[in-house]
Amino acid sequence: MAEEIKTIKVTIDNITIDVAPGTTILQAARMIGGDVAPPAMCYYSKLKGSGGKCRTCLVEVSKGSNADPRPMPKLVASCRTGVMDGMEVKNITSERVIDARNGVVEFLLLNHPLDCPICDQAGECHLQDLGYEHGKEGTRYEFKRRTFEKHDLGPYIQLHMTRCILCYRCVFVADQLTDKRVHGVLSRGDHAEIATYIEKSLNNDFIGNVIDVCPVGALTDRTFRFKNRVWFTKPVDAHRECPTCSGKVTLWQRGDEVLRVTARKDEWGEVKDWICNTCRFDKKHAGDWVIEGPTKINRHSVISQGHYVGLKKPKETVAAVMGGREPKLLMDIHSVSEVNSPGIDLGAIPGPATSDTFNPNPKP
C-alpha cells in the first residue's frame, strides 16, 4: 500500500491551505496566490540557497503551531521560515508587516539611483513595483549616494553596480549553472560589490541568465540597451531546436524586428527554463524562431499596454465586469442625457466637442 503523505495546515491572511512538510511560508503563500504572496527580491525558487538577504518578504507569525501557539516575537523572513502544523501567518493583514516593508524599501532605495526614466529595466523592475507599493515621496537620506563606474562584462552584459541591491541571485546563477563561479560579492557593508572577476565567467553558455534573474537594472543586455522601452515592444513566445538549452524563449519585437530575447518567466517573475547565450544574444531574426503566439502578460503590467492584433474582446462587457450577472436596470445614455446626442457625428466635427456642438441654438 502506498505510504500516505502527511500534510500540514497553515493559515495565511485568514486563508487555510494544506502543504507538504518542509514548505516555507513564502512557498505556501504562493500556492494561495495573489496578494497573499509576499514580495521577494532575493529568493528564487530555482536557485538553491537563495533568499534571506533582502527582507522584503517579512511576515508576522501570530501563532507558531498547534503544539506551541505562541506568536513569534519578531517578524520573520517568509522565504527562510518553514511552516508548522496549525501555524497562522499575517502578510497584508498585518500593519507591522506593511510598516516594516516600507522601511525595507526605504533602505533598498538609500543608494539605488532614481533613474527609472533612463533605466532599461523600467517597466519590469521589481524594485520599481515595490517602490510604487511601499515607497515614500521623499528620502530622509542626506548623504552622498554610493556610486560605482559602469562595467562592461564582455560584449553582451553590462554591470551597473550602483543599481545593485546585493540579492546574490547572479552569484547563485554563476555558481549553479556555469562550470566555475569566478565572481561573488566582494567587501562588506557599504563597500560590498559584485565585481572584478565576473568577466571570467562570461565564457559560459548560460551566464546570460544573470540578466533575467537580476531584480533591478544592475545587469542589462548590451544588445538591447537603450534600443527601446519595454512597453513599446510586443512579447511573443517562440522556440527553436537548440542543442544547448530548451530553446523556449520570449521574443520582444517591434514590428518584425526582434529587439531582445529573454527566457520565459512565470507569474512570480522567475525564469521557467534557463536559456543559452546563443539563443539569447545571437538569434535576433524572427526567421530563427517558430512563433507560438503572444506572451501572457499580467494586465496590470505596463508591458500589457502593447496592443495585440486579433485580441478577442468580450462581446458583452457589462455582464463580464459584473461577474456574469445581468444588470437590473440599463439606461441608454442618449435617452437620459441631452449632451450625448446620437444625431451628432462626433467624427465629423472639427476639434473637440463642446456644449455648442450638442446645443447650437441655446434658448435665450
From candidates 57, 167, 236, 261, binder to ligand SF4 by CB under 6 A: 167
Phi, psi of 317 (to 5 degrees): -75, -30
Q: Report the amino acid identity of residue 207.
A: I
Nearer to ligand SF4, 8 or 214 (CB): 214
- Is 52 near ligand FES (CB under 6 A)? yes
Nearer to ligand SF4, 92 or 166 (CB): 166
- Nearest 10 degrees: Cα torsion 308, 309, 315, 320: -10
Nearer to ligand FES, 29 or 251 (CB): 29
Which ranges of the chain would DSSP assign to H, the alpha helix? 25-32, 95-108, 126-134, 169-177, 209-213, 277, 317-321, 333-336, 355-358
Please report the beta strands in the chain, taking only residues with DSSP state E, as ranges in sequence order.
8-12, 15-19, 58-63, 76-77, 87-90, 151-153, 157-159, 185-186, 193-194, 219-221, 234-239, 248-254, 257-263, 290-294
User: Taking CB under 6 A as the rule, which mask of x and - marks residues 98-137 in contact with ligand SF4?
Assistant: ----------------------------------------
Cell reading at 191: 563597500
Task: State CA 150 to chain mean position distance.
Answer: 24
From candidates 28, 109, 164, 174, binder to ligand SF4 by CB under 6 A: 164
Q: Return the one option of ligand SF4, ligand FES, none that residue 213 interacts with (CB less than 5 to 8 A, by type).
A: ligand SF4
Q: Return the one option of ligand FES, ligand SF4, none that residue 253 interacts with (CB less than 5 to 8 A, by type).
A: none
Among the candidate windows 17-25, 55-63, 85-93, 199-207, which touches ligand FES by CB under 6 A? 55-63
Q: According to CB under 6 A, which residues from 196 to 235 bind ligand SF4? A: 213-216, 218-219
Give 40's DSSP letter.
Answer: -
Residue 40 · residue 33 · CB < 8 Å: no
For helices 126-134 and 95-108, give the axis angle rounded to 10 degrees: 130
Q: Are strands 87-90 and 157-159 parallel, antiparallel or unpaired?
A: unpaired
- Is 51 near ligand FES (CB under 6 A)? yes
- Is 209 near ligand FES (CB under 6 A)? no
- Is 77 near ligand FES (CB under 6 A)? yes
Burial per residue of 85-102, b for 16 or more beta-carbon CB atoms within 10 angstroms, e otherwise: ebbbbbbbebeebbebbe
Q: Return the one option of ligand SF4, ligand FES, none that residue 306 interacts with (CB less than 5 to 8 A, by type).
A: none
Q: Return the one option of ligand SF4, ligand FES, none that residue 79 interacts with (CB less than 5 to 8 A, by type).
A: ligand FES
From candidates 55, 126, 169, 283, binder to ligand FES by CB under 6 A: 55
Q: According to CB under 6 A, which residues from 335 to 364 bind ligand FES? A: none
Phi, psi of 261 (to 5 degrees): -125, 130
81 exposed, middle or buried (CB, 10 Å; 0-12, 13-18, 19+)? buried
- Is 297 near ligand SF4 (CB under 6 A)? no
How far, in Å, CA of 275 to CA of 54, rounded?
26
How far, in Å, CA of 236 to CA of 221, rounded?
18
Closest distance between ligand FES and the C-beta of residue 45, in Å? 11
From candidates 10, 104, 108, 170, binder to ligand SF4 by CB under 6 A: 170
Nearer to ligand FES, 79 or 171 (CB): 79
Nearer to ligand SF4, 59 or 164 (CB): 164
Closest distance between ligand FES and the C-beta of residue 31, in Å? 16
How far, in Å, CA of 76 to CA of 193, rounded?
26
Residue 207: C-alpha distances to residues 157, 189, 210, 225, 251 (Å): 9, 26, 6, 17, 19
- Is 166 near ligand SF4 (CB under 6 A)? yes
Q: Return the one option of ligand FES, ligand SF4, none that residue 111 interacts with (CB less than 5 to 8 A, by type).
A: none
Contact residues for ligand FES, defined by CB under 6 A: 40-43, 51-57, 77, 79
Binding site for ligand SF4 (CB under 6 A): 164-170, 194, 213-216, 218-219
